[in-house]
A and B are shown apart, each in its own frame.
Chain A
Amino acid sequence: MPKWLPHSLLYAYFGGFILLIAALAWFRPVTHQDNSQPIAFPHTVHAGQLGLACNFCHESVTQGPQAGMPTVDKCVSCHQAIATERPEIQKLLSYHEKGEPIRWRRIHQVPDFIYFTHKRHVRSGLDCSACHGAIEEMKEVRRVRSLQMGWCLSCHRSRGASFDCATCHK
């Protein structure tokens, strides 16, 4: 056996694993996740300092599957008078003038094959923070629950909700 063989084999072995970790870091989405929004909307102010209820803006949360984003008109109904000099509000007002919707980045998304409705969950007495965490503490909204099936099922089981497959996989 040549003298250099074991060393080079070791180098190749560990080098391969380092490449593997680099590849993992590159390809797994978590490492370059971007939670920024077109307008830096502070939940810390609206839900935190002002104490607005969640459904003040997310109106349809008790009525349908989607909690719903507020229309630009709704934002402007307050912000045509409040803090109009701030750059982020000016951005909002320019959306309003152009009549364009704001394309918010979606942070909480369950796959297409899941039927999820906010209405039922809110009506069963769950607080928004059970799934979304303390939104009023977040400058930039991010996900704090995995939204994975095991987690859904744990809660369904402990609260006596249905865990028939067809409840969520319609």
Chain B
Amino acid sequence: MLPVIQEQLLLIKVMQGACQTLLCLSLGYLVGEALLSLPGKALFTTSPLLPAPSETSSGPKVLTGRRAGLLIALIMACNLLLMKIAYRAALFTGPFWGGVTVLFIIGLALILATRQHLKGAHSAGRLSLIAIAAGDLLLLSICYFLLNAESLLLTPETWPFLTSRPPLLLSWHGTVRFAQFTLLALMLAGLDRRHNRQLLIFVAALLWPLTQVLELLLTPELASSPNLYLIAALALMTSAGLGLMIIRPLLQKRPSSLTLPLTGIIILAMLWVLGAQTARENTLTVASLAGLQLPPVTSQATATPPATQAAAKPETSPAVDGAQLFQQKCSVCHRFDQRLIGPPLNSVLEKYRPGKAKLTGFLRTPQKIDPDYPTMPNLGLTEQEAGAIADYLLDHKIVQPTPR
């Protein structure tokens, strides 16, 4: 990781969160609106409080046109990039994410084009219906996929097995997160004064606590923390606030100001994103990301000799091996020329010079010799390891002065 990223990690995460919130809001609105607009012409126009039907066919005014599409696609790309920078998620390759983004843009373009088309005096024909349904389906499935990938970040332990078992990608946690996204989308689509769709906000606010509790239950154990519960409680209260502020105009059957519900929905989306980020903080640590690269499978025959880290080294170059082993196992307590925990080696090596076997024997089962020093612990060396270290030690006397 670049030092600059290390320093600005918090900023990057905040930016990622902001991107994701924006993305969720704009996309949620688009998807929800598209989901309702076509069948909505039949479903919602019957409301008695509606203005003349000629006005309703003028279509939605927010988020139309090419510029909005470009903006959303840009935010989406930013979000993926920031995610990759912040969490170094080596989940899939770059071309893969590129493909997802391209599909995303196609879906987006389909929806936006249809909306543009409907803004004119055109009536909703079969073609626009199909286009909008296809675009919606594409966007929704990409959202489902991305949210599952996001949940996958909570269980890095499954990453090594994804290639052999692709179904691991889907998880119940990701599904519940997708349900929450759909609820947010419905709420946003409900923010329409003329169509009097506030019932949608109310229903979504009522369903939110259910998904929130489900999400908490399905969060992997290692990802949950007290903060996560706090954020869940806050999100729940926000949804309660939404429900309470919607019920009065709903009962009195008159449209009300939409600023407050919109603020509530934005806060809810922020908490939704923040919850995912908090959960990630616990699982994507340096410690848990270590060891994910599994070694190649060794056949049973070669696996029989004890394969500790040190012994796995080839025995073809015992001198190098011995030096390494010495650095790793002995140098904590021993120097050649000075007293540390053990005696200076130069003073004790002399008596082992006649035969290597005696030194090897001592290394494998150390005895107390000098009462001045603590007993050397048994290091559990194998015959080869002890031999390599003994070779290294006995060779060493010739090449003075000593290292360090």
Contacts and interface: CB of A to CB of B under 8 A. Distances in A.
Interface in A147-166: 151, 154-155, 157-160
Looking at chain A, what size class is its interface with the partner chain? 35 or more
Contact of B287 (A52, A131, A133, A154): A133
Interface stretch (A72-80, A97-105, A109-117): A72-80
Contacts of B210: 17
A50 B217 CA distance: 41
B220 interface: yes
B333 A78 contact: yes
Contacts of B165: 154, 157-158
A130 B291 CA distance: 4
Nearest to A80: B374
A25 B213 contact: no
Contacts of A40: none
Contacts of B157: 144-146, 151
B257 interface: no
B346 interface: no
A13 to B, nearest CB: 7
A77 B240 CA distance: 62
Nearest to A62: B306
Contacts of A135: 287
A134 B222 contact: no
A28 B217 CA distance: 10
A154 B168 contact: yes
A119 B328 CA distance: 22
Given A17-B209, A24-B213, A53-B309, A134 B294 contact: no
Given A14-B236, A18-B233, A127-B309, A25 B304 contact: no
Contacts of B296: 125
Give the dominant DSSP class at A's interface.
helix
Contacts of A145: 157, 222, 288
B286 A137 contact: yes
B369 interface: no
Contacts of A124: 297-298, 303, 307
A138 B222 contact: no
A127 to B, nearest CB: 6
B273 interface: no
A129 B138 CA distance: 40
Nearest to A3: B251
Interface stretch (B105-113, B124-132, B224-232): B224-232
A48 to B, nearest CB: 11
B229 A56 contact: no
Contacts, number: 167
A59 B380 contact: yes
A69 interface: no
Interface string A59-72: 10010000000000
A134 B221 contact: no
B16 interface: no
Given A10-B247, A21-B229, A21-B233, A78 B161 contact: no
A79 to B, nearest CB: 9
A123 B299 CA distance: 11
B291 A137 contact: no
Contacts of A146: 155, 157, 220-222
B198 interface: no
Contacts of A77: 374-377
Contact of A30 (B224, B247, B288): B224
A84 to B, nearest CB: 11
Nearest to B243: A10
15 contacts: A10-B247, A21-B213, A54-B309, A62-B308, A80-B374, A122-B307, A123-B304, A124-B307, A125-B296, A125-B297, A127-B309, A131-B291, A133-B289, A144-B222, A157-B164
Interface of B: 155, 157-158, 160-161, 164-165, 168, 206, 209-210, 212-213, 216-217, 220-222, 224-226, 229, 232-233, 236-237, 239-240, 243-244, 247, 251, 285-292, 294-298, 303-304, 306-310, 312, 327-329, 332-333, 341, 373-377, 379-380
Interface of A: 6-7, 10-11, 13-14, 17-18, 20-22, 24-25, 28, 30-31, 50-56, 59, 62, 74, 77-78, 80-82, 122-135, 137-138, 142-146, 151, 154-155, 157-160
Q: Which 4 A-B pairs have the closest CB atoms?
A: A129-B291, A134-B290, A14-B240, A144-B288
